[in-house]
Chains A and B, each alone.
Chain A
Amino acid sequence: MTLGGFILFALFVLAHLVFVLRVMNVVQWVHLGQGELQWGDARRRARDLLVKGFGQSLVLRKPSGIFHALIFWGFFVLTVGTIEGLIKGMLPAFSLSFLGPLYPALNTLQEIFAVLVMVSLAAALYRRFVIRPKRLEGPLSHQLDAVVIIGLIALLITAYFGMEVVEPRPGFTPVADALRALTLGDGEAPGMAYAAFSWTHNLVVLAFLMYIPFSKHLHVITALPNLFFREERVRGRINRLNLEDENSESFGVVRITDYTKKELLDLAACTECGRCQEACPAYNTGKPLSPKKVVLDLKEHLFEHGPRIARDPASAPPLFPDVISADVLWSCTTCFACEEVCPVEIQPMSKLLGIRQAQVLMEGEFPEEAQNTLRNVEGQSNPWNLPQQERGHWAEGLGIPTLAENAEVEYLFFTGCAGAYDQRYVKVAQALTKLLQHAGVSFGILGNEECCTGDAAKRIGNDYLAQELAQTNVDTMNGYGVRKVITACPHCFNAIKNEFPQYGGEFEVMHHTELIADLIRLGKLKPDTAKAGTTTYHDSCYLARYNGVDAAPREALAAAGASVTEMPRHGKDGFCCGAGGGRMWMEERIGTNVNQNRAQEALATGADTIATACPFCLTMMTDGVSKEGRADTVQVRDVAEILADLL
């Protein structure tokens, strides 16, 4: 080994030492979390890793993702050359030429990707500093981080081409050939040229190795494991806390160590791409909440306090309000967009819900309006504190049996608080009744025996109340042998479908738009299509994004002869009305209004009618349209109302 080779070897060992020690630290900090990382169901995990990880399927959902994918794939291809270069630096006679015919092919592939990576780096720079999408914004340190990384990779590729020009390897390498013709012509390269490029290349590789785990590029190491360790969960379900455990003195997330190991791995996996921020209704309307910032603030907290907490777990400071402030915590509408769009499946919303649970259950400190709502739900089992004994009043004279009167009906129509009490939404419940009766559907209601599903309580953070409500409903429904349920509210729908099974309630649940679409398909409803006008459909988060129900309401509207003009953000990419997660019951004091933002988007379609399928959306959109001064010309109506008018 030459002196140079020896020095390179020493640097190689040093860089790996730095890398491994840092990664071990990160692993240790992740292990400060609760529970264990799960290895079971290895097939699914392997498939996720292959498709979402190596296949970059989630990254590629955005057009700009192609640049990331090329850099990512290029990394693996070029690593072959990198390894060859490093060994050659230490043992100059080394070459991968023993691979035979594969060798030139690999070299050709490397050149292709070297070019593609270079182009992608240029695109990345152009995006970050010329187009400047808001989602890539961040403090100067983040921007510098990006420049350092892009610069290092660019330098690496430059050195790669330098080496190829001076000392070509076999293979079809037109770019290197052209560069050679351009720079050297027929002449010889200076004697030290190859060594200079080779050293540059190897030093940059080792520098990069040391830099990675200290930078946002940590995700190179953590993103794939994060995809692999994803926990199987029922979409739309917030797991019930174990409140029976008498030894448990802490509920929800007070300290960083209250998160699970997987949740802490989430923090380390963030790529800072900002797709979550771009989709967040709170962020987009000037609230201090950005899901990206939530994740990065928690990450910074973990990395800063991790070493101390590892020595003394009790020393972990509370997250609220220093890391996550009240305004951040209570701005979330639980619309799920952040978790839906994350290319590495980080769950920012769930992080906030854990802290909400702690604030409500452990501290009893949360917005007063939300406290009033929960007190109302505790009292009369609805958010308005209207009499429980009048829950069935909306159906008087409509000929709907209660299950107490007739439990033999096919469907339970779970009316929900809004359908029962909100004068505007009572009309929707009645319109749906008209449709169902017209189509000869056999259904009944619980009447005064129904109570709130606990959706809002759950998402405000009072799992105690939510569990009580869910259990009461499940017991009542099971008592009547209910099997099929129709809901007129996506929040009831989500709770019954995804959360009630945890309480022994297994029901076949349909949202009313699904049933209406079915009835039309079966010819049981024949809307008079002549009267329909132009419509745009606003997707409910809990229906479309959480539960994938976005086709049925559109199908129903189309059958009604309505021409549906889509808003730019629709279906699973729909934009929240601002009322989820208990926000319906809280004042919106910061920034602009979410519902107005959405109303503007809906009005821009030029449709006469904005169709909704959720009581919260209906209220928020009506209010938004009215604030825009368009209440006289544009109607906001439920899909059921539109259809019922056409019978």
Chain B
Amino acid sequence: MKIAVLVKRVPDTASVFKVAPDEKSVVTDGLKYIISPYDEHAAEEAIKIQEAGGAEIVVISLGGDDCQETMRTVMAMGADRGVLVSVPAGLSIGAHGVAQALAAAVKREAPDLVLAGKQAVDDDASQVPERVAELLDLPHASVVSKLELADGKALVDREIEGGKYRIELPLPAVVTIEKGINTPRYPKLPNIMKAKKKPLDTVTLEDLGLSADAVKNQAEVTKVASPRTDRRNQIVGGDTADAVKEVVRLLRDEEKAL
């Protein structure tokens, strides 16, 4: 059994985000980066399979050298090795291109199972793993909250609004993971130490037979904006009965909300 886990390095959503002056990007100074939380659940699921029946786990990511830190955290959880698809700094690359590159990297590994988070928490696009499945012509299931493997098949529960599908997929397959599926482990120090020495190969787009042109972003961001947060936070004091009347008046007459 060989499992590939696709992970993305994303800004910690607990950070404060500011729109850059060009209004097309966010300020990255002072941001802290983490593994996208859904990818962490995917990694945990892979390690649980490894613990249950043995498996080789390859963590695959795309980005700059700082991605190695993110990949090492997955290795500290238990992944055996890593493949980083290194892209030149400044190259704008979208879901289409990332999927092309990751598909090529996954193909070289020929895993029995590909796991990834159901979405990355930075752009919330939910595209890459599905595109990888299409490019490699593999069956896939997304937003999976339960995963069982038996007889060369994967039996998964796929969450939908108000219910779930149970789907059987032949392996190899691509499965994207929803959070309730497990609790990612707290990495043990000896494993953090060991992770530093595990093999992590860096491959370029050229190594994968791709050109920068083939993967570059074809869509263009025209504007980034923050959600409106200018609430007025008015506190109405005094006697409760009067205060309620005042709140109703404010909502009806001033805010036209009722």
Which of B12-20, B51-59, B166-174, B200-208 interfaces with chain A? B12-20
Contact A249 B190 (CB under 8 A): yes
Say which residue of B15, B183, B186 sits within 8 Å of A389 (CB atoms). B15
Contact A380 B12 (CB under 8 A): yes
Q: Is B192 an interface residue (CB 8 A)?
A: yes
Contact B186 A387 (CB under 8 A): no
Q: Is A366 an interface residue (CB 8 A)?
A: yes
For the complex, count residues of B whose C-beta is within 8 A of A. 16
Q: Which residues A347-382 have CB closer than 8 A to chain B? A: 360-366, 368, 371, 374-376, 379-380
Q: Is B188 an interface residue (CB 8 A)?
A: yes
Q: Is B187 an interface residue (CB 8 A)?
A: yes
Instruction: Name the residue in B12, B14, B185 with the highest tally of chain A Cβ atoms < 10 Å from its Cβ.
Output: B14
Q: Which residues B189-212 have CB closer than 8 A to chain A? A: 189-190, 192-193
- Main SS of chain A's interface residues? helix
Contact A371 B14 (CB under 8 A): no
Contact A379 B30 (CB under 8 A): no
For the complex, count residues of A whose C-beta is within 8 A of B. 26
Chain B's closest residue to A464 (CB) is B189
Q: Is B32 an interface residue (CB 8 A)?
A: yes
A249 to B190, CA, bound (A): 6
A464 to B76, CA, bound (A): 14
Q: Is B181 an interface residue (CB 8 A)?
A: no
Chain B's closest residue to A365 (CB) is B186
Interchain nearest-CB distance for A423 vs B (Å): 14
Contact A364 B186 (CB under 8 A): yes
Q: Is A385 an interface residue (CB 8 A)?
A: yes
A379 to B35, CA, bound (A): 11
Q: Is A66 an interface residue (CB 8 A)?
A: no
15 sampled A-B residue pairs with Cβ under 8 A = A246-B193, A360-B186, A361-B189, A362-B189, A364-B185, A364-B187, A365-B186, A366-B186, A368-B183, A374-B186, A375-B186, A387-B15, A388-B32, A390-B16, A464-B192
Question: What residues of B have a CB within 8 angstroms of the CB of A385 in the complex?
Answer: 14
Annotate A244-258 by CB proximity to B: 1 below 8 A, 0 otherwise: 001001010000000
Interchain nearest-CB distance for B41 vs A (Å): 14
Q: Is B10 an interface residue (CB 8 A)?
A: no
A379 to B190, CA, bound (A): 21
Contact A389 B16 (CB under 8 A): yes
Q: Which residues B30-61 have CB closer than 8 A to chain A? A: 30, 32, 34
A361 to B76, CA, bound (A): 12
Annotate B211-233 by CB proximity to A: 1 below 8 A, 0 otherwise: 00000000000000000000000
- Main SS of chain B's interface residues? loop
Interchain nearest-CB distance for A154 vs B (Å): 55
Interchain nearest-CB distance for B178 vs A (Å): 20
Contact B186 A379 (CB under 8 A): no
Q: Which residues A316-364 have CB closer than 8 A to chain B? A: 360-364
Question: What residues of A have a CB within 8 angstroms of the CB of B189 in the complex?
Answer: 243, 251, 361-362, 464
Contact A448 B32 (CB under 8 A): no
Question: What residues of B have a CB within 8 angstroms of the CB of A364 in the complex?
Answer: 185-188
Contact B187 A379 (CB under 8 A): no
Contact A380 B188 (CB under 8 A): no
Contact A379 B14 (CB under 8 A): yes
Q: Is A224 an interface residue (CB 8 A)?
A: no
Q: Is A50 an interface residue (CB 8 A)?
A: no
Closest 9 CB pairs of A and B: A364-B186, A361-B189, A387-B16, A385-B14, A364-B188, A389-B16, A389-B30, A380-B14, A379-B12
Question: What residues of A have a CB within 8 angstroms of the CB of B192 in the complex?
Answer: 464
Chain B's closest residue to A388 (CB) is B32
A360 to B189, CA, bound (A): 8
In the complex, the number of residue pairs spanning A and B with C-beta atoms less than 8 Å apart equals 47
Q: Is A386 an interface residue (CB 8 A)?
A: yes
Contact B14 A448 (CB under 8 A): no
Chain A's closest residue to B76 (CB) is A364
Question: What residues of A have a CB within 8 angstroms of the CB of B32 in the complex?
Answer: 379-380, 388
A364 to B14, CA, bound (A): 24
Question: What residues of B have a CB within 8 angstroms of the CB of A380 in the complex?
Answer: 12, 14-15, 32
Interchain nearest-CB distance for A564 vs B (Å): 35
Question: What residues of A have a CB within 8 angstroms of the CB of B15 in the complex?
Answer: 380, 387-389
Chain B's closest residue to A379 (CB) is B12
Given A246-B193, A379-B32 in contact, is the A387-B188 Cβ separation under 8 Å?
Answer: no
Q: Which residues A571-590 have CB closer than 8 A to chain B? A: none
Instruction: Name the residue in A243, A366, A387, A464 with the highest tally of chain B Cβ atoms < 10 Å from its Cβ.
Output: A387
Question: What residues of A have a CB within 8 angstroms of the CB of B12 in the complex?
Answer: 379-380
Chain B's closest residue to A381 (CB) is B32
Question: What residues of B have a CB within 8 angstroms of the CB of A362 in the complex?
Answer: 188-190
Interchain nearest-CB distance for B168 vs A (Å): 33
Contact A361 B14 (CB under 8 A): no
A385 to B34, CA, bound (A): 13
Chain B's closest residue to A374 (CB) is B186
Question: What residues of A have a CB within 8 angstroms of the CB of B183 in the complex?
Answer: 368
Question: What residues of A have a CB within 8 angstroms of the CB of B186 in the complex?
Answer: 360, 364-366, 371, 374-375
Interchain nearest-CB distance for B10 vs A (Å): 12
Interchain nearest-CB distance for A381 vs B (Å): 8
Question: What residues of B have a CB within 8 angstroms of the CB of A365 in the complex?
Answer: 186
Given A364-B185, A379-B32 in contact, is the A386-B14 Cβ separation under 8 Å?
Answer: yes
A451 to B246, CA, bound (A): 44
A320 to B16, CA, bound (A): 41
Question: What residues of A have a CB within 8 angstroms of the CB of B30 in the complex?
Answer: 388-389, 448
Given A361-B188, A362-B188, A371-B186 in contact, is the A387-B14 Cβ separation under 8 Å?
Answer: yes
A375 to B187, CA, bound (A): 11
Contact A379 B34 (CB under 8 A): yes
Interchain nearest-CB distance for B155 vs A (Å): 29
Question: What residues of A have a CB within 8 angstroms of the CB of B187 in the complex?
Answer: 364
Interchain nearest-CB distance for A312 vs B (Å): 23
A543 to B193, CA, bound (A): 36
